[in-house]
Amino acid sequence: MENKVLIIYTGGTIGMIENHKTGALSSVDFSKIKKSIPEINRFNFKIDTIEFENPIDSSDIDYKFWIKLAKIIEENYQKYIGFVILHGTDTMSFTGSALSFMLQNLNKAVVLTGSQLPIGMLRTDGKENLISAIEIASKTANGQSIVPEVCIYFENKLFRANRTIKYNAEYFNAFASENYPTLANIGIDIKFNYKYIHYKTGESKFNINTKLNPNVGILKIFPGITKEFVKSVLNTPNLKGLVLETFGSGNATTKKWFLDLLAKAVKNGIIIVNVTQCIAGSIRAGKYETGLGLIKAGIFNGYDITSEAAITKLMFLLGQNLSQKDIKNKFEISLTGEITKINL
């Protein structure tokens, strides 16, 4: 296969141009982005582009957007060696996580990238991010992609997408992956960390699974949280799954009303997953007495999964119409490298 790369332009800061008179930002089509980065024409392989008709701000992204992206990749999978998705940074980790579950038996690089400054600004980070993302997506060895995963490339680092969070709104190093090493570090050379890259085994063919259930939510606990607030969240109509962001290694208040509400919700069929509010570390259910109540209430252990991966994994598993037991079994293991299950 010819090393062709497909760029899917969805929108985001990278696709904005500043009006030098007013300072206002407005979205542009990809041809203007390409004009701002003439170096793209120096690659010795073909680069094609698919543009969303109306560029979308990443704050407006929902599960239907993920399905659309997955279908675009499916329709073009045999034509290209790799894919680059230009995307707004705010929800990039959510999109990357969702795609990691939806794109099954993936054997090609899908690299999401964007920028903190618009491509038309003098100090934009978008230029280097896009050029390096294209190069990574095109890299092969013996005709196979070197990084056959859904990844995020930003500021000289390549991450497994479902391990990332956006942790910085100001500086160029916007993303972090505290619980999993980088897949590559980019300087003068691209240094791939091969032992951390997932390579597909077996002969299963690439396919997409777009069955998602969006009836999920996130509840971040905090000191002084009230019974009325928790009750209102758990009584949300059609709620099927909840990511419970707890303190430290999985701790929460031991107040009886709190644990009773959670236990009742679980009994009524709501899947609740315990994840840490910290950007690094893992849930160690039962390490402290303040975590034992959650175990007794029937709450799943999220281990070191990010909230972004947890919420999209819940959407995915709930979309498969599995039993509560099967969802628990599948949630507490790694499907696409999104979780490290530790021995307690």
241-288 pLDDT, tens per residue? 999 999 999 999 999 999 999 999 999 999 999 999 999 999 987 666
Q: Which two tokens stand for residue 216?
A: 């999920």
pLDDT for the residue numbered 287: 66
Report the C-alpha gap between 198 and 107 in whole angstroms: 10
Query: Does residue 13 carry a catalytic annotation?
Result: yes
Q: Which two tokens stand for residue 121?
A: 């600004």
Domains 5-208 and 216-331 share a fold: yes
Residue 99's contacts (CB-CB under 8 Å, 6 or more residues apart) are: 66, 69, 70, 73, 110, 150, 161
Q: Calculate helix-pair angle for 256-267, 289-296, nearest 10 degrees.
A: 30
pLDDT for the residue numbered 344: 44
Mean pLDDT of 106-113: 97
Superfamily of domain 5-208: L-asparaginase, N-terminal domain (3.40.50.1170)
275-333 pLDDT, tens per residue? 999 999 999 876 666 668 898 999 999 999 999 999 999 999 999 999 999 999 999 99
Q: Domain map of the chain by residue range?
A: 5-208, 216-331
pLDDT tops 80 at residue 48: yes
Q: What is the dihedral of CA 270, 273, 274, 278, to 10 degrees?
A: -130
Active-site position among 13, 124, 246, 336: 13
pLDDT for the residue numbered 127: 84
pLDDT for the residue numbered 29: 66
145-182 pLDDT, tens per residue? 999 999 999 999 999 999 999 999 888 888 999 999 99
- pLDDT band (50, 70, 90) for residue 123: confident
Q: Which CATH architecture has domain 216-331?
A: 3-Layer(aba) Sandwich (3.40)
pLDDT for the residue numbered 210: 98
185-237 pLDDT, tens per residue? 999 999 999 999 999 887 789 999 999 999 999 999 999 999 999 999 999 99
- pLDDT band (50, 70, 90) for residue 74: very high
pLDDT for the residue numbered 207: 97
Checking phi first, is residue 46 left (phi over 0); if not, alpha (psi -120 to 50) or beta? beta
pLDDT for the residue numbered 18: 64
